[in-house]
Amino acid sequence: MGHLPGLLARALKSPAWKRHLGDIDVAHVNSRPALAGCGHAQGGTPCNAEGRAAVWRFHSDEPERIGRMFTSPGPIYEPEGRQDDPWRAARGLFAAGFRSGDRVLNTFSYHLTPGGFIMDGAARSIGCTVIPAGPGNTDQQLDVIEHLRPRPIPERPTS
């Protein structure tokens, strides 16, 4: 939460976020209850062309810090940092029993949305070998499971 006031100050440079968040005192938004008092963005906010451009401008003031830019329905644009495990998901995988040396079949999509890369980066940061399968190719994935015996990351099956 310590980084939140600085992040909000950067966001307020974008006209779209300034309109959305209003006149907030970023110095006082330093806890979860204070954050809950701010307006929140739901899928598609801001969704007009001006808003989408503003979101990119918000993230592009330091392009060297962005490793990937994802898009999700809405549209929502999500930047990913360049550090190991930028989504901080490794802790959850470790708590679930994943360990260095495990083989992981990652069935999350790697296309436009961050899910595949979230799990990939988390697993690799704790020393797992990742098989980047994504959804689909069920027959080939079954062959991989039979031959390599990975410890799969669950994802809903696709055909």
Q: pLDDT of 8-51, one tens digit each? A: 888 787 776 777 777 888 888 888 888 777 765 554 444 455 55
**What is the model's pLDDT at position 89?**
95
The tally of CA atoms less than 13 A away on the side-chain side of residue 47 is 9
112-135 burial string, b = 16+ CB within 10 Å, else e?
ebbbbbbbbbbbbbbebebbebbb
Residue linked to tokens 């990119």: 56
What is d(CA 69, CA 39) in angstroms, rounded to the nearest whole number?
24
**What is the model's pLDDT at position 132?**
93
Q: Which range has highest mean pLDDT (41-45, 54-58, 81-85, 152-156)?
A: 81-85
Residue linked to tokens 């410890």: 151
User: How far separated are the first and last CA of the chain, in Å rounded?
Assistant: 41
pTM above 0.75, yes or no: no
Q: pLDDT of 98-137, one tens digit each? A: 999 999 999 888 888 888 999 999 999 999 999 999 888 8
63-69, long-range: CB < 8 A, 24+ apart: 68/114, 68/117
